[in-house]
């Protein structure tokens, strides 16, 4: 992307590995490199006159935690618009452009954004599916020396996010209330978002709840899946579904530390659904706007529909080793004119279930599904 755009941003949740990735990348950069970390007081001082500090630099300039100084973006635009200068900027940040004032406006047409997630199933390999599901994909959590150490890391992560990061982004709640809200969302993981119900339960208005959800989504901590709407006579659900962005964080919010805890919890099916959803969308490299769920008020539903060009792939997630065809799947296949439905399951075999519908194990989904 840096070959094509003067500015590239790597955005993702706290602790997901942005700085590490940027450091590895700078080490391989052919030419001079410079790094500024906007959480480091010395670097903040070096950048107090940004135009002056940056205008003589050539090569790769990494600006870490760039969201902390939105005034920098118009300066970058001036710098990259100069003719014949050899400079590239790599911005790292843990807040989405929606939450950071001015990045898209100031740098329109000059910036490409790359979203960074935690470790995915294709990276750790299907044999490591269980620890990845239990611990989630944050490097420190996944690589911890024991399940207990991993759970403790996540507990600390949640604490620092609610005490420091979310208030820092402007979320107008005390740490304990943010934690309570996030935990409420964990209990709704995989369900259609009902703002007025959530507002009532939390004791605030629909609009306040909407804003709180946007803060958590903007910090890459929850994910919303938009509903698909097909032009048919059936009444269809129009609100998004909500997922906690990482299975490990979900488990910690629900107080689940071990496999036994997860397996006995009523949300285990929803946890699998979120985990498998992440695995499929990462494998297909699908953009959020290509991913939907579908549901009618009469009760037909499909967990995931990925739409790209004229391709339409359907997915169901079943925490069982012997999934069966349901009426819902047949209705979805026909009403949505899907190319296929893959039922992603916990067993170990690929097998046909019906015309256009097959069962695919989550462990090996990488070798069976693609958008080609
Ligand atoms: N690919 C990796 N393999 C192993 N460990 C990693 C990897 N990437 C990151 N880590 C570890 O994960 C932790 C977080 O990484 P890093 O500081 O790069 O994340 P970050 O996204 O910049 O976090 P923050 O938003 O808090 O600045 C570090 O301890 C780092 O060593
Ligand atoms: Mg960092």
Q: What is the pLDDT of residue 136?
A: 98
For the chain (372 residues), the mean pLDDT of every run of 10, in chain order, is 94 97 96 96 94 94 92 93 91 89 84 93 94 98 98 98 95 97 98 95 95 96 96 93 98 96 96 97 91 96 95 96 94 96 95 96 92 76
Question: For residues 328 and 325, what is the distance between their CA atoms, to the nearest angstrom?
Answer: 8
Q: What is the biggest distance separating any 2 CA atoms in the chain, rounded to whole angstroms?
A: 66
Any atom of ligand 1 within 6 Å of the Cβ of 213: no
Instruction: For ligand 1, atom 2, name the residue with the nearest CA.
Output: 139
Question: For residues 328 and 199, what is the distance between their CA atoms, to the nearest angstrom?
Answer: 31
If you measure from the C-alpha of residue 15 to the centroid of ligand 1, how many angstroms do you get, rounded to a whole number? 5
Instruction: For ligand 1, atom 11, name the residue with the nearest CA.
Output: 139
Domains (range + CATH), the chain: 7-115 (3.40.50.300), 122-367 (no CATH)
First vs last C-alpha separation in the chain: 23
- pTM of this prediction? 0.95
Residue pair 111/7 in contact by the 8 Å Cβ criterion: yes
SS3 24: helix
Any atom of ligand 1 within 6 Å of the Cβ of 16: yes
């Amino acid at each position: 992307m840096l070959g094509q755009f003067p500015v590239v941003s790597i955005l993702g949740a706290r602790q997901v590995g942005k700085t590490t990735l940027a450091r590895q990348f700078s080490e391989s950069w052919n030419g001079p490199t410079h790094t500024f970390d906007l959480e480091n007081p010395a670097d903040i001082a070096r950048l107090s006159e940004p135009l002056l500090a940056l205008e003589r630099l050539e090569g790769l300039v990494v600006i870490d935690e760039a969201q902390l100084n939105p005034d920098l973006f118009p300066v970058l635009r001036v710098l990259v618009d100069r003719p014949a200068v050899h400079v590239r900027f790599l911005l790292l940040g843990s807040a989405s452009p929606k939450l950071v004032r001015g990045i898209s406006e100031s740098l329109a047409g000059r910036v490409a954004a790359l979203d960074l997630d935690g470790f995915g199933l294709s990276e750790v390999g299907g044999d490591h599916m269980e620890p990845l599901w239990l611990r989630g994909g944050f490097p420190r959590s996944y690589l911890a020396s024991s399940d207990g150490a991993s759970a403790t890391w996540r507990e600390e992560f949640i604490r620092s996010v609610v005490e420091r990061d979310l208030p820092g982004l402007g979320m107008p709640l005390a740490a304990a209330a943010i934690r309570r809200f996030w935990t409420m969302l964990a209990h709704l993981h995989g369900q259609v978002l009902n703002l007025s119900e959530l507002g009532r339960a939390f004791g605030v208005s629909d609009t306040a709840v909407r804003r709180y959800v946007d803060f958590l989504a903007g910090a890459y901590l929850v994910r919303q899946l938009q509903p698909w709407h097909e032009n048919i006579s059936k009444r269809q659900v129009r609100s998004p579904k909500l997922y906690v962005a990482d299975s490990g964080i979900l488990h910690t919010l629900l107080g689940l530390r071990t496999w036994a805890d997860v397996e006995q919890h009523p949300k285990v099916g929803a946890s699998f659904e979120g985990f498998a959803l992440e695995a499929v969308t990462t494998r297909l490299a699908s953009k959020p706007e290509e991913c939907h769920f579908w549901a009618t008020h009469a009760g037909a539903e499909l967990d995931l529909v990925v739409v790209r060009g004229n391709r339409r792939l359907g997915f169901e997630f079943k925490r069982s080793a012997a999934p069966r065809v349901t009426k819902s799947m047949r209705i979805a296949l026909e009403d949505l004119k899907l190319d296929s439905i893959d039922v992603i399951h916990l067993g170990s075999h690929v097998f046909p279930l019906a015309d256009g519908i097959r069962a695919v194990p989550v462990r090996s989904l990488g070798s069976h599904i693609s958008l080609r």
